[in-house]
Structure 1
């Protein structure tokens, strides 16, 4: 295979200068000096024995030859980029994701979509412990909790709304607070908002007839579906069951819901992993972000098996 008459680095400089129609902007983009870009372009033109830019004062513009060359060079660079990415992605190991157990079920369809789009493995870790010092080890981390927004670089996934939820047949019999308090209150001990918080915010005396305590949101969901009582859980977590009509919000008038920003997304800044992680992060935004009512924007879960 014959060698190119010019170096690849020179062609990269030409492509950036041609794309931006500016030597100074190309220099800034490539972390070079304007003089270095100008000299590289002049050497390229000398080697080819043809001008590629029209120069007027401090402005430059590709001529017809330069435009044709830019098109071919950009195609070549893109082919090389695709080839290199295919190798680096295969050797990069699995995409790593981490979330608390309460949000794990919401991320399952995200992982499935990711596998359809990417030729990579996924390693998913679900735990309650999200130390500040260890989450950087993951490509994607979803935080949930009162302090979740404190981590640098974390972005909000919308509001979490807490309001009484139960099975539809129970909801039809709950028209006021007194009727609600006749049912067992299901309590998630790991949640950032409690039944006592809700009762206090609505100036309701009493604590209900009985209480059942759990330490996982998944247990709350199972108990709700079994008709064990009424739960106070983030509508984000209960959105799949609400979308499918398996659960319903209690139709009680003149009560307020509690709103908190508890869910946040962190994406790695590692240059070698950032591009792949960014695509996964976008799927999480599309599928796990809530609207102003605290429900998931995506209706994907309406057809997701329970």
Structure 2
């Protein structure tokens, strides 16, 4: 049988005193008297039959048992606080904001958002476009990014998928741009300013030799892929960003895809335990992007 736990107020007083190593400071933080905190800690020690603090010269120091309990109480309260936050968020209908790189957002996640809404009707997921470094706060709780920049240590990173790239063109123009499993020398290559080395990287990955690929340049990756759909030339397409167009027969990837060494990750605050919302998001992303 489970042993009854001393009242939560005693644990609350112990938690504050353990963090501050001061009954007086804990009392100030909790708006209690020094005596109330001291009595609550003493009650807990009597219940456990073990000293949690060493009392010396009007100061208190955690014992080994005290440190063990402090770690457990911190973890337990953190889980409770996260559950309360999740419940309040779902009951209040407050949206959870996920920032995602624009091309992946527009061409892959948004078409699949109805599936998330159907599976998790109590979570309002709001998607916003953004790339590169991001600041997670009350306005943006999560972010999907390619790990091509320095990610702060304060963020938890969960791997989602490896980036895979390959040349793509309009499906009915494959013979115009490709021959014998090779890109024709005169094929018009579509470039993008957001990934200016995409073609050079492809040639390096495949070990092919070719003069610097020339062709039209676009402001963003998304535009270069739309240009490929329009039949203007051949673009370097990330596998997931072109998945639906390939499946629907709009685009073709005659040479397949290669891993380029980068990967996409989900960023979240490391200081917060994984709550119900983050676990639901990871489950959905794992199944959707995997």
1:204 is paired with a residue of what secondary structure? coil
Q: Which residue of 1 aligns with 2:280?
A: 279
2:131 is paired with a residue of what secondary structure? coil
Contact 1:183 1:230 in 2 (8 A): yes
Distance 1:183 1:34, change over 3 A: farther
**2:142 is the counterpart of 1:140:** yes
2:116 is paired with a residue of what secondary structure? helix
- The aligned length equals 217
Q: Deviations over 1:187-213 (max 9, x none)?
A: 1221275212323452413134x4111
Query: Superposed, which structure 2 residues align to 1:1-306 within 5 Å?
Result: 36=47, 87-91=88-92, 93-105=94-106, 106-116=108-118, 117-131=120-134, 134-137=135-138, 138-147=140-149, 152-173=155-176, 174-176=178-180, 180-191=184-195, 193-201=197-205, 202-208=207-213, 210-251=214-255, 257=258, 259-268=260-269, 274-289=275-290
Contact 1:95 1:120 in 2 (8 A): yes
Contact 2:168 2:252 in 1 (8 A): yes
Distance 1:273 1:264, change over 3 A: closer
Q: Deviations over 1:103-137 (max 9, x none)?
A: 11222144323322232433322122423xx1355
Partners of 2:158 and 2:234 lie apart in 1 by 31
Distance 1:109 1:36, change over 3 A: farther
TM-score, scaled relative to structure 2: 0.61
Distance 1:193 1:145, change over 3 A: farther
Partners of 1:214 and 1:37 lie apart in 2 by 69
Q: Deviations over 1:148-171 (max 9, x none)?
A: 667542122221122211122222
After TM superposition, give the deviation of residue 141 of structure 1 in Å: 0.9
Q: Which residue of 2 aligns with 1:292?
A: none
Partners of 1:200 and 1:271 lie apart in 2 by 41
TM-score, scaled relative to structure 1: 0.58
Partners of 1:122 and 1:223 lie apart in 2 by 30
- Looking at secondary structure, tell me which structure has more strand per residue: 2
Unaligned runs of 5+ in 2: 9-43, 50-82
1:146 is paired with a residue of what secondary structure? coil
Q: Which residue of 1 aligns with 2:70?
A: none
